[in-house]
Amino acid sequence: MTINKYQGKTKEEAIEKAKQELGPGAVVMNVREIKPKGMLKVFKETVYEVTAALEEKEVFTNPLSALNTAAKMHEGINLAADEKLQVPKTPETQNTAAPTASAFRQEAEMKSEVTHGERRNDGLEKRLEDLSNMLEKQLSVGEKRKEEKLEMQTASPEGLQFVKMLYRTLLENDVNEKFVNQIMDEAEKVMHNGSSVDYILSTVYQKMILKLGQPNTIDTTGKKPKIIFFIGPTGVGKTTTIAKIASKYKVDEGMKVAFLTADTYRIAATEQLRVYANILDAPMSIIYSAEEMNAAIERVNDYHLIFVDTAGFSHKNEAQCGDMKKMIAGLDEAYEKEVYLVLSATTKYKDLLEIVDIYRDIADYKIIFTKLDETTTFGNIFNIKLYAGASLSYMTNGQNVPDDIEEFNTQKIVKQLLGGR
């Protein structure tokens, strides 16, 4: 893995620099705002520092040592055992000398414990808040680590204890066991004898961020108009999300937006979109076929963004599924399109798997997760991203239009999955 820091006047500028150097596969690990300090601070500007990484294929120069990792740390974890797990002390108060096992236990006892029904853990939260410092440390020792990486051994007792705790936290947050094992397998390859708790945490954090990948939102740099389809089951928040996104582009960026709706199954559905169209003073058309869609687009072809709302349907309804596929495939080739699959974070894992499969047949999509405010466990977001292999784009966390939406915040979600707030 290559990891580096990039600065810019804005977050976007710093990310752009990272992409230029590392390529389009670069993933943002952390964003830090550096406020100017000192007497001359009024003359200086705030800069943004982005830590970005690129995952390379892991190359083992010594195949034998790679084989030795078969002695996996997490294989010894018995989750049936009702054992209490504790987090080691936070970095500020930790002794610089390596703590002995008993000193470690004493310290740990002072910290809160992860017991059933009580997921919050101050030690872990503090550590997660300090992740940027941790990443920094890792950057400075990066070269040394590269050599050590090849000697893959099991971790120290406190490391093992900590890995167990992370393992359990991820499961409690509904990350699928298969993926938890995958993360731990990968993390183990770079852990070594005596890996510090910080090192383990930041390694697991980085692995997870890389798996979620860099979010991918609407690309407004192409030619206009850009046609943006929103598909997904009923009631997940397609229409509301369209209103939020359209409003941002219209109000914040001054773009011209228009609406089409193919959700003609319910009168109330077209009325709902019409209300938002009126507020934004944007044209709206109701369409029943691909021909009508192309004709309606033609009428607003000097607009930047055209949002197409669609009807949700049961993923078992093949006729409706076919209609939707025809509609999207029938878009005039002259137009550029993006398709977003809208999913609710509250939907059951099994149903999400089916939905993702059915809609994959309709078009290539990016994923929007809604209703993050209605659940406390975000594991499904992680599971579905890995299962679908599609990019994440936006996340929404409430009914307020236009405020309750943001670009998918990978760092925030991973921190929460690891037990942070």
Ligand X SMILES: Nc1nc2c(ncn2[C@@H]2O[C@H](COP(=O)(O)OP(=O)(O)O)[C@@H](O)[C@H]2O)c(=O)[nH]1
Tokens of 343: 């999913």
Q: Which residue has the tokens 């994440």?
A: 392
Q: Is residue 261 a contact point for ligand X (CB under 6 A)?
A: no
CB nearer to ligand X: pick between 212 and 342: 342
Q: Which residues pair with 90 in a beta bridge?
A: none
Q: Which of 195, 313, 404, 417 binds ligand X (CB under 6 A)?
A: 404
Q: Is residue 310 a contact point for ligand X (CB under 6 A)?
A: no
- Min CB(415)–Mg ion separation in Å: 32
CB nearer to ligand X: pick between 200 and 401: 401
**Residues 365 and 337 sit within 8 Å (Cβ to Cβ):** no
CB nearer to ligand X: pick between 86 and 410: 410
361 binds, among Mg ion, ligand X, none (CB under 5 to 8 A by kind): none
Give the C-alpha separation, 416 to 313, whole Å: 32
By CB atoms closer than 10 A (0-12, 13-18, 19+), residue 160 is middle
234 binds, among ligand X, Mg ion, none (CB under 5 to 8 A by kind): ligand X
Q: Is residue 239 a contact point for ligand X (CB under 6 A)?
A: yes
Q: Is residue 396 a contact point for ligand X (CB under 6 A)?
A: yes
Rounded to 5°, angle at Cα 78 from 76 and 80: 175
373 binds, among ligand X, Mg ion, none (CB under 5 to 8 A by kind): ligand X
- Min CB(177)–ligand X separation in Å: 28
Closest CA to 216 of 410, 389, 337, 391: 391
- Min CB(381)–ligand X separation in Å: 13
Contact map string, positions 214 to 253, toward Mg ion, x by CB under 5 A: ------------------------xx--------------
Closest CA to 212 of 355, 14, 15, 408: 408
Q: Which of 173, 202, 206, 370 binds ligand X (CB under 6 A)?
A: 370
Q: What are phi and psi of 286, to 5 degrees?
A: -100, 130
Q: What are phi and psi of 48, to 5 degrees?
A: -110, 135
Tokens of 204: 């697991």
Which residues contribute to the site for Mg ion (CB under 5 A)?
238-239, 269
Which residues contribute to the site for ligand X (CB under 6 A)?
234-240, 312, 370-371, 373-374, 396-399, 404
